[in-house]
Amino acid sequence: VGFSGKGVVLAAALASSCNAFTQTTPTSLSGVTGSSSALSAAPATIEQVDKRTGKPTGTSFLPGEAIDRAAKGNPIEKAKLAKDGTSAFVDVYEYAAKIREGSMTWDEVEKADLNTRLKFVGMLHRDKRTPGQFMMRLKVPNGIVNADQMRFYADCVEKYGEERGVVDITTRQNIQLRGVKIEDAPDIIDGLHARNQTSFQSALDSVRNMVGNPLAGIDDMELVDTREFCNALNDLVSLDPETNTRGNPKWGNLPRKFNIAISGSRDDYAHTHINDIGLVPVAHAETGEMGFNVVLGGYMSIKRVAESIDSNMWIPADRESVVTLSEAILRIFRDESERKDRQKARLMWLVEKYGVEDFKAAVTKEVESYGRGVTVGDAQPLPTDGPFERRELLGVHAQKQEGKSRVGILVPTGRLSPKECRDIADLADEYSGGEVRLTVEQNVILPNVDDGKVKALLKEDSLGQDSRLKVNAGFIEGNTVSCTGAQFCGLALIETKSHAEDISKKLESLVDVDRPIRIHWTGCPNSCGQVQVADIGIMGGPARQLNEETGKMMAVPGCKIFVGGRIGEDAHLALEPYKEGVPLAEEVLVPELVEILKNEFGAKDKKRGFRSK
Ligand code: SRM
Ligand code: SF4
């Protein structure tokens, strides 16, 4: 992916020779005053170059008009103006050194760094749940990792103990390390960079993990191999071309998060319809050339949940076109999107402000201005040869390569202990050439398993009866997804992962269904667990229940239930709750879900001795 451990050395060198690069230039900002350390105020001068790294600041790429808006914008905008996020890794190294030598403690770290700016290094302080410990989010383009990386994740988190030291596979086909302390972060960052991975620009106002097709290169129904494009886009947004270090300042001051997904087949495993940019593979109707229709603006949030809209754009499936189109949209988004109301700062609002055709015209003009010979065409008709049934990712399936199989393994709610990470690494070394693929359903796939070795793989202890990892999971437990929830997330209204795992097992023991039923859990309306695309979505929310002792109704942890979201070609978001105010208590929620499974999905009471799959 165009990056090697070399970059770390350069970054460290840049950090230590920082003064040589100091060059603070005042901008045309008028009437803006304040301190550079407070979250609530923008500085009087805007740094063009970060003193310590010599890298240009994210803000230095913004036009004056956008800086003026940011200066009058929300507290996060002011924090970004006050101190550059793309050089925040230097703060991590400096804080860590001081904490290690005993000259400071983690709670003396500047608040704006602790809770905001370190997010540019992918470090999210879990201040409400585990003060002093961070979640570190990585970037895993196309969700492809290897055995060495899996073992490294295990080594990084193990010291934080069974409860806190875990690894999560996320709903963006990505990895999060938990429990991380600042003093350990430099070694983790260096270790990641030495393994061609990074955590930089994976959170806050950054372009998030590039989601691609988990079956890229191994599937006979593939239309486009997404790997090259995910890697190229990952480099576009997070590799600094000047210093060859991770963290690209050009995109270091975006108005909001930005999601890109590239689909490789009609299954749309990447969920293009809920990403800011979604690339949908479709051949040009006249020339037959393979390319992508561009859908825009899909997102989920507390304020609004929106399905992507057709932008009437098509580009050929080549690296230059994909990178140039994305760069053009990102440039327009960066400079023109909302900087005051964070709820309105997602791409959809900007597209609506323009109108679809005018937005297309602006993007086309921008693309042409780069002079790379890239052409933006009109959207192409989708295939009409009948409906397409999205295929399963779990279990054993033939690949396009003769004699090879892909084996999808359930990781319940994406949560892995260090031992389970190592188990997967061992399986990968033994059966899949060390390669592991992550899915947005928070599971893993081992590709390229010799058909002749599948039996042996299925007999491995780490996939046995007592293991959480399973190849032949039931239709319900195998399709349960869950966001982080209250164990670590300060925004959560309820605990999610442990309930999701327990209740899916319970449901599996009570009913039989004849197809995968996707049950998604999300702890609050931000919908990181994407409840609106689920067959059944469970979102944390208020509920009341009778207190047997007092005889009074009292507030209890509860949920809203959504039913009927669809993914794939026939995507549809379930926007309105099916039921609200349902207590989370198992004796209430389980019967409720059983009813929904029976009424809406044809579930039958389980017959003794008969399993659904
Ligand atoms: Fe998310 C904020 C976790 C995918 C919409 N999300 C958060 C924070 C950072 C809040 C916080 O500070 O605690 C959560 C961190 C909890 C933690 O400790 O892990 C968090 N989001 C997650 C993850 C880990 C859920 C998971 O268990 O898999 C996912 C990480 C993806 C990744 O690897 O980058 C995750 N979040 C999503 C998705 C799904 C997707 O991208 O397909 C969405 C909906 C799609 C979207 O963004 O449009 C999503 N997360 C949000 C939002 C609402 C965004 C908005 O525009 O308002 C927030 C709140 C915010 O950004 O202000 C949020
Ligand atoms: Fe946290 Fe809410 Fe996202 Fe769950 S949906 S991870 S509770 S922000």
Which of 169, 413, 484, 497 for a ligand 2 pocket mutation test, highest count of atoms within 8 Å of Cβ? 484
User: 500: Cβ below 6 Å to ligand 2?
Assistant: no
Among the residue ranges 33-47, 194-208, 214-228, 484-498, the one predicted with the least confidence is 33-47
Is pLDDT of 452 > 80? Answer: yes
Amino acid at site 303: K
Banded pLDDT at 23 (limits 50, 70, 90): very low
Which residue has the CA at smallest separation from atom 8 of ligand 1? 489
Confidence at residue 45, expressed as pLDDT on a 0 to 100 scale: 75
Q: What's the gap in Å between 527 CA and the centre of ligand 1?
A: 7
Which residues line ligand 1 at a C-beta cut-off of 6 Å?
124, 126, 135, 137, 168, 170-172, 174, 176, 208-209, 257, 259, 274, 299-301, 346, 483-484, 488-491, 526-528, 530
Q: How far is the CA of 302 from the centre of ligand 2 (A)?
A: 10
Q: What does pTM read for this prediction?
A: 0.94
Please state the atom number of ligand 1 nearest to the C-alpha of residue 298. 48
Atom 3 of ligand 2, residue of closest alpha carbon: 528
Residue 41: which pLDDT band, with cuts at 50, 70 and 90? low
What is the Cα–Cα distance from 107 to 16, expressed in whole angstroms?
24
**Chain Cα centroid distance, residue 43:** 32
CA–centroid distance, residue 231 to ligand 2 (Å): 27
Top mutation candidate among 157, 166, 528 for ligand 1, by most atoms within 8 Å of CB: 528
- Count CA atoms closer than 13 A to 223's CA, side-chain side: 25
Protein residue with its CA nearest to atom 41 in ligand 1: 172
Nearest CA to ligand 1 atom 59: 526
- Give the E-state strand segments of 28-158 in sequence order: 123-125, 134-137, 144-146
Alpha-carbon distance 177 to 122, whole Å?
10
In the predicted structure, residue 489 carries a pLDDT above the cut 60: yes
Interval between CA 607 and ligand 1 midpoint (Å) = 39
pLDDT at 245 over 90: no
16 pLDDT exceeds 80? no
Q: Is the CB of 522 under 6 A from ligand 2?
A: yes
Mutate to test the pocket of ligand 2, among 487, 526, 531, 559 (most ligand atoms within 8 A of CB): 526
Whether 176 lines ligand 2, by a CB cut-off of 6 Å, is no
Q: Above 50 in pLDDT, residue 375?
A: yes
Q: Is 124 close to ligand 2, i.e. is its CB under 6 Å away?
A: no
Distance CA 516, CA 351 (A): 35
**Residue for token pair 């749940």:** 129
- Whether pLDDT at 2 is above 80: no
Q: Which amino acid, one-letter code, is at 18?
A: C
Work out which ligand 2 atom sits closest to the CA atom of 494.
Answer: 7
Distances (CA, A) of 100 to 14, 106, 181, 185, 457: 21, 10, 11, 11, 44
**Which ligand has the nearest atom to the CA of 497?**
1
Residue 385: its pLDDT value, please?
A: 78
- Is the predicted pLDDT of residue 7 greater than 70, yes or no? no
Q: How far apart are CA 446 and CA 466, in angstroms?
A: 20
- Kindly report, residue by residue over 376-396, the tens digit of the pLDDT: 999 999 987 788 889 999 999
Ligand in nearest proximity to the CA of 538: 2
Catalytic residues: 137, 256-257, 523, 528-529
Q: Is the pLDDT of residue 210 over 80?
A: yes
- Give the whole-angstrom CA distance, residue 195 versus residue 156: 13
Contact 173, 214 (CB under 8 A): yes
Of 235, 170, 241, nearest in space to 200 by CA: 235
Q: Which residues contact 287 (CB under 8 A, 6 or more apart)?
A: none
Q: Which ligand gives the minimal distance to the CA of 302? A: 1
Q: Confirm or reject: Cβ of 58 under 6 Å from ligand 2.
A: no
* Cα–ligand 2 centroid distance for 242 (angstroms): 36
Q: Is 301 in the pocket of ligand 2 (CB under 6 A)?
A: no
Atom 25 of ligand 1 has which residue's CA nearest to it? Answer: 483
CA-to-CA distance for 211 and 223, rounded, in angstroms?
16
Share of the chain above pLDDT 90, in %: 86
Mean pLDDT for the chain? Answer: 92
% of the chain exceeding 70 in pLDDT? 92
What average pLDDT does the segment 281-285 reach?
97
Going from the Cα of 267 to the center of ligand 2, the distance in angstroms, rounded, reads: 26
Nearest ligand to the C-alpha of residue 559? 2
Quick: pLDDT tens for 502-517.
Answer: 999 999 999 999 999 9
Nearest CA to ligand 2 atom 2: 524
Q: What is the pLDDT of residue 9?
A: 34
Tokens 């979604």, located at residue: 278
- Among 34-38, 102-106, 439-443, 572-576, where is mean pLDDT lowest? 34-38
How close is the Cα of 295 to the center of ligand 1, in Å? 21
Nearest to 480 by CA among 429, 426, 536: 536
User: Is 528 touching ligand 2 by the criterion CB < 6 Å?
Assistant: yes
Return the pLDDT at 608. Answer: 63
> How many Å lie between the centroid of ligand 1 and the Cα of residue 126?
14
The residues near 369 (Cβ < 8 Å, ≥ 6 apart) are none
SS3 at position 463: helix
CA–centroid distance, residue 173 to ligand 1 (Å): 12
Q: Is the pLDDT of residue 27 over 60?
A: no
The predicted structure's pLDDT at residue 26: 31
Candidates 497, 549, 557; CA nearest to 522 is 497
Looking at the predicted structure, is the pLDDT value of residue 610 above 80?
no
489 Cβ closer than 6 Å to some ligand 2 atom: yes
Interface ipTM: 0.99
For residue 34, name the pLDDT band (cuts at 50, 70, 90).
very low
Nearest to 40 by CA among 88, 67, 4, 77: 77
* Smallest CA separation from ligand 1 atom 14, residue: 489
| Residue bearing the CA closest to ligand 1, atom 24 | 170
Residues 295-348: pLDDT tens digits? 999 999 999 999 999 999 999 999 999 999 999 999 999 999 999 999 999 999
Alpha carbons 194 and 11: distance in angstroms, whole number: 13
- Which atom of ligand 1 is closest in space to residue 124's alpha carbon? 12
Lowest mean pLDDT among 194-203, 243-252, 319-328, 496-505: 243-252
From CA 605, how far away is CA 523, in angstroms rounded? Answer: 29
> For residue 170, how far is its CA from the centre of ligand 1 (angstroms)?
9
Nearest to 540 by CA among 555, 563, 558: 558
> Residue 184: is its pLDDT beyond 50?
yes
